[in-house]
Structure 1
Amino acid sequence: MTDTGVPLRVVSYNVHGQRDDTAALAEAVRQVTPDVLIVQEGPRRFRWREKSAALAASVGMVVAAGGLPSLGNLLLTSLRVRVTDTRCGRFPLTPGRHLRGAAYADCAVESGARFTVAGSHLATDPVERPGQAELFKRELAAAPFPVIAAADLNEEPGGPAWTTVAAGLTDAAVTADRADRLTYSCANPRRRIDALFVDPRITVVDYDVLDTPLTRRASDHFPILVDLLLPAAD
């Protein structure tokens, strides 16, 4: 613990259904040793529990929450993080569209600092996204601890869904003066559609979008790496 807070390293990563180079994916995550990994497009179908556990093992972490109940949103943690409660949600289905959802976990670290981590993946349909963002935001607002929320929002800053989720929270990229770092696509980086937001009580120490030979092979999205300081326990 520092004099001003408790360090926590978080990665948010749309892993593209693990359809790309899974060895590169595992190595890219292991190299940065996160305490929390927020996954979009994780296992959500046949044998999803086994596949989620295998993904967690490949990066040296354990499954905290998510999978099929949250429709592919997955929260993984290191052994440093203690998970005290979890919940999953699904957004209402629009006929002919993909199901979407979110995963949430209340956590603590060894010093007693508490936080709620959340992950989601909003629709590509601009008509659906704002309603999904409102449901996601409702759960974030009800969280019992300072929030760390990451999502593939499928839209850029200033869009209605982005604005809804970001309200009252800190955009880690903006705070670190790195909002010019693009997250999609690895083949042709042109958009920032992946974001990580935190409660204002949480300090953003550093933010990066990991553009490396490994991450260009691992998915169609670049991962976000954020170093935070949690407020110390009272």
Structure 2
Amino acid sequence: MTEAEGAPLRVLSYNIHSRRDDTAALAAVVREAAPDVVIVQEAPRRFRWRQKSATLAASFGLVVAAGGLPALGNLLLTSLRVRVLATRCQRYPLTPGRHMRGAAYAECRVGGARFLLAGSHLSTDPAERPGQAAAFKRELAAADLPVVVGADLNEGPGGAAWRTVADGLTDAAAAGCADRHTYPCVSPRARIDGLFVDPRITVVAFDVVDTPLTRRASDHFPLLADLRLPVAG
């Protein structure tokens, strides 16, 4: 790496429970974290979703990069420090009678570093999750950029879908936080939210943010990581 061992990036991955909880607390949590990018699950995806997504981003002091309805509630937000180069959305094959799921992607640049930001929210149905994880992983594996991935996987690290997504990537929680549960806030008992990065990316710090505010803001705790991205020579 150059430029003082890489470009810094602060990432927040957060299932916001469709804003059903304390929205003032939610905004305060994100603003206090001061992230460069936020990977959101359960973002606006229905009527007036564009306006609602923009309002959500503004409450965080950020802007919308990608996602929303086309990604079925997965939303990528960025600060003005991050330049968004290209975006795309993905919808997983629909199982009749189930909720549709998808993913959002944004090719980004910070300083001299380029990376792919990706977010997804897998099914609560254990029969559906492995296929969705495989579809998500194919997109990640095809990327020619280092990836930063946030997802609500609806299962823990022992599950097949989790292993599929995590394969070949660094679990940002592995160093010191692998035993920290992310759900539900009222009685945490499971780690179903993950943040994964390309091995070329350095995880400087990671936290599952458990505070009085986060317990009011959503039913999931947010994941917060400080990263160092590789800079092209």
TM normalised by structure 2 equals 0.98
- Report the Cα distance in structure 2 between the residues aligned to 1:135 and 1:67, rounded to whole angstroms: 19
Gapped runs of 5+ residues in structure 1? none
Give the secondary structure class of the aligned counterpart of 2:86.
strand
2:140 corresponding residue in structure 1: 140
Letter in 2 for 1:187: V
Listed one character per residue, the Cα deviations across residues 135-185 of structure 1 (whole Å, up to 9, x for unaligned) are: 0000001112100011000000021000000000000000x2210111000
Q: Which residue of 2 aligns with 1:63?
A: 64
**Secondary structure, counterpart of 1:30 in structure 2:** helix
Counterpart in the other structure of 2:86: 85
CA distance in 2, matches of 1:60, 1:13: 16
Q: Which runs of 4+ in 1 moved over 4 A?
A: none
Report the Cα distance in structure 2 between the residues aligned to 1:65 and 1:17, rounded to whole angstroms: 17
Q: Which residue of 1 aligns with 2:181?
A: 182
Q: How does 1:203-214 map to 2 (within 5 A)?
A: 203-214=202-213
Contact 2:3 2:231 in 1 (8 A): no
2:125 corresponds to:
125
2:154 pairs with 1:164: no
1:155 aligns with 2:144: no
Q: Structure 1 CA distance, aligned partners of 2:143 and 2:107?
A: 8
Match of 2:112 in 1: 112
Q: Give 1:151's aligned amino acid.
A: A
What SS class does the counterpart of residue 173 from structure 1 fall into?
A: coil
Question: Are residue 73 (structure 1) and residue 74 (structure 2) matched?
Answer: yes
Give the paired residue count: 232
Shift of 1:80: 0.1
Q: Sequence identity of aligned pairs in percent?
A: 74
Q: Does the Cα contact within 8 Å between 2:11 and 2:38 map onto a contact in 1?
A: yes
Q: Cα distance, 1:215 vs. partner?
A: 0.5
1:43-100 CA-partner distances (Å, limit 9, x unpaired): 0000000000000000000000000000000000000000000000000111111110
The alpha carbon displacement at 1:198 in A equals 0.3
Q: Partners of 2:152 and 2:39 in 1: how far apart?
A: 10
Partner of 1:100 in structure 2?
A: 101
The structural deviation recorded for 1:2 is 5.4
Q: Distance in 2 between matches of 1:162 and 1:204?
A: 19
Cα distance in 1 for residues equivalent to 2:176 and 2:135: 29
| Preserved CA contact (<8 Å) 2:7 2:112 | no
How far has the Cα of 1:3 moved from its partner? 2.1
**2:63, 2:44 → 1: CA distance?**
14
Q: Aligned residue for 1:198? A: 197
1:205 counterpart letter in structure 2: V
**RMSD of the TM alignment (CA)?**
0.8
Matched letter for residue 205 of structure 2 = D
Give the TM-score normalised by the residue count of structure 1: 0.98
Q: Which residue of 2 aligns with 1:31?
A: 32
Unaligned runs of 5+ in 2: none
Residue 24 of structure 2 is aligned to residue 9 of structure 1: no
> In structure 2, what is the Cα distance between the partners aligned to 1:143 and 1:22?
35
